[in-house]
């Protein structure tokens, strides 16, 4: 499994969290791809909803959308409607999962995709919320998938674009966000959740071969550690084959991505972006999702 990229590891791990006969509101990129993997394995009746007004998309392997508002995102859909309608289904309580990426997330699950620095004097003005604020506010359970790095896992975000548990405890409910809870955070190192009382992020599982110390080292705040830490099962050959076929198309499965006019495909999948510019660029997605090899756009 040495050839498994961080993206593949995260997407496969996250895909296992999605149960059959549920509805998932997925951001584009890794959340969408993980949802599609789940549909091909344990959750054939999982309905994937995208903010562009798309219900029940199936995706054409090798033709993944960059935006959730484009034709490729609508491939095989059961219903096409408008954007506001999609979010009102979420507000009504139809969506079991909201599935997001996060360029910057804090110990309470708050996400920032608005600004580095202050709003008055922005160092970098980021693209903005897109649908992420609504997804985290309105879906029944929110899942987050992102790479595990100190600059992503910060003690407090500069700006709460999308509210998690705010300042912990019951502060989310007190702010009027009666619905929605944050479930799991999946990374290339670990599986995390939020401790019920304090609502602080808590380590629950480790990817194969990863230690608690390594996770702590890559986390920019004091991480709670659960009592029974499970070791996560590495991606199976079947899971990887499904993922790669979706990403690359049937002919290219298991090989390098074929040449394409689509920008971004030249970026090596295993490389960890380390400059601030890259960090900011990854928030150039409405729902804050990222993926090095998976084209991504606003949620």
Partner 1 sequence: MEQITVLAARAEREAAGRPVVDKRMTAEDAIALIHDGDHVAIGGTLYSRTPMALVFALLRQRRRHLTVSRPLACYEIELFLATGALDRIVTSWVGIGLPWGLAPVFRHYVERGEARYDEWSHLAMGLRYKAGAMGVPFLPSLTMLGSDLAGTLGLQTVDCPYTGEELAAVPALNPDVALIHAHRADMFGNVQVDGYRHMDADMAKAARTVIVSAERIVSPEEIAAGPAQTMLPHFAVDAVVAAPHGSYPHECYGLYGPDFAHFTAYAAATREQGPAGALRYVEENVDGHAGFAGFIAAAGPERLAELAADAGELMGR
Residues serving a catalytic function are: 51
When binding is defined by CB under 8 A, the residue of 17, 18, 215, 291 that contacts partner 1 is 291
When binding is defined by CB under 8 A, the residue of 22, 41, 63, 257 that contacts partner 1 is 63
When binding is defined by CB under 8 A, the residue of 13, 104, 146, 162 that contacts partner 1 is 162
Whether the Cβ atoms of residue 68 and residue 31 lie closer than 8 Å to each other: no
Choose between 198 and 265: whose C-beta lies nearer to partner 1.
Answer: 265
Whether the Cβ atoms of residue 162 and residue 288 lie closer than 8 Å to each other: yes
Q: What is the C-alpha separation between 165 and 48, in angstroms, rounded?
A: 25
Residues 118-147 that bind partner 1 (CB under 8 A): 119, 122-131, 133-134, 137-138
When binding is defined by CB under 8 A, the residue of 13, 47, 114, 187 that contacts partner 1 is 114
**For residue 23, which phi and psi values (nearest 5 degrees)?**
-120, 130
Residue 191, token pair as written in the block: 């599986």
Q: Any contact of residue 252 with partner 1 (CB under 8 A)? A: no
Q: Any contact of residue 166 with partner 1 (CB under 8 A)? A: yes
Q: Any contact of residue 176 with partner 1 (CB under 8 A)? A: yes
Stretch touching partner 1 by CB under 8 A, among 16-24, 87-95, 146-154, 222-230: 87-95
Site string for partner 1, 202-241 (x = CB under 8 A): ----------------------------------------
Stretch touching partner 1 by CB under 8 A, among 46-54, 142-150, 200-208, 219-227: 46-54
Q: Any contact of residue 5 with partner 1 (CB under 8 A)? A: no
Query: CB-based burial of residue 256 (10 Å sphere; 0-12 exposed, 13-18 middle, 19+ buried)?
Result: exposed
Q: What is the C-alpha separation between 53 and 271, in angstroms, rounded?
A: 34
Q: What is the C-alpha separation between 97 and 184, in angstroms, rounded?
A: 11
The CA dihedral of 217, 211, 14, 238, to the nearest 10 degrees, is 140
What residues contact 143, with CB distance under 8 A and at least 6 apart? Answer: 14, 17, 31, 97, 98, 99, 100, 183, 184, 185, 186
CB of 240 to partner 1, least distance (A): 23
Q: Any contact of residue 27 with partner 1 (CB under 8 A)? A: no
CB of 173 to partner 1, least distance (A): 9
Q: Any contact of residue 66 with partner 1 (CB under 8 A)? A: yes
> Beta-strand (E) ranges in 166-299?
181-186, 190-194, 201-206, 224-231
When binding is defined by CB under 8 A, the residue of 47, 69, 140, 187 that contacts partner 1 is 69
Whether the Cβ atoms of residue 194 and residue 109 lie closer than 8 Å to each other: yes
CB of 101 to partner 1, least distance (A): 10
Closest CA to 98 of 7, 167, 162, 2: 162
Choose between 55 and 203: whose C-beta lies nearer to partner 1.
Answer: 55
Choose between 65 and 205: whose C-beta lies nearer to partner 1.
Answer: 65
Q: Any contact of residue 272 with partner 1 (CB under 8 A)? A: no
Whether the Cβ atoms of residue 166 and residue 175 lie closer than 8 Å to each other: yes
């Amino acid at each position: 499994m040495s050839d498994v990229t961080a993206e593949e590891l995260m997407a496969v791990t996250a895909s296992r969290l999605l149960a059959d006969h549920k509805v998932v509101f997925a951001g584009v990129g890794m959340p969408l791809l993980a949802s599609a993997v789940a549909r091909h394995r344990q959750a054939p009746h999982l309905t994937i909803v995208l903010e562009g007004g798309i219900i029940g998309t199936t995706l054409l392997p090798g033709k993944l959308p960059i935006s959730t508002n484009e034709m490729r995102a609508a491939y095989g859909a059961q219903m096409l409607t408008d954007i506001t309608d999609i979010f009102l289904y979420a507000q009504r309580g139809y969506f079991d999962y909201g599935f997001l990426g996060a360029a910057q997330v804090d110990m309470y699950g708050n996400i920032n995709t608005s600004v580095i620095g202050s709003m008055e004097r922005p160092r970098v003005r980021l693209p903005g919320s897109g649908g992420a604020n609504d997804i985290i506010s309105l879906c029944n359970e929110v899942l987050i998938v992102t790479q595990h790095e100190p600059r992503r896992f910060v003690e407090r975000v500069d700006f709460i674009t999308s509210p998690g548990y705010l300042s912990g405890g019951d502060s989310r409910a007190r702010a009027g966000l009666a619905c929605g809870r944050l479930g799991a955070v999946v990374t290339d190192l670990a599986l995390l959740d939020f401790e019920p009382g304090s609502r602080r992020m808590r380590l629950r599982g480790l990817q194969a071969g990863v230690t608690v110390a390594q996770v702590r080292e890559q986390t920019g705040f004091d991480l709670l550690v659960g009592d029974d830490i499970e070791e996560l099962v590495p991606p199976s050959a079947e899971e990887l084959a499904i993922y790669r076929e979706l990403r690359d198309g049937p002919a290219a499965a298991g090989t390098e991505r074929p040449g394409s006019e689509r920008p971004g495909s030249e970026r090596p999948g295993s490389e960890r972006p380390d400059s601030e510019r890259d960090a900011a660029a990854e928030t150039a997605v409405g729902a804050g999702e990222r993926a090095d090899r998976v084209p991504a756009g606003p949620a």
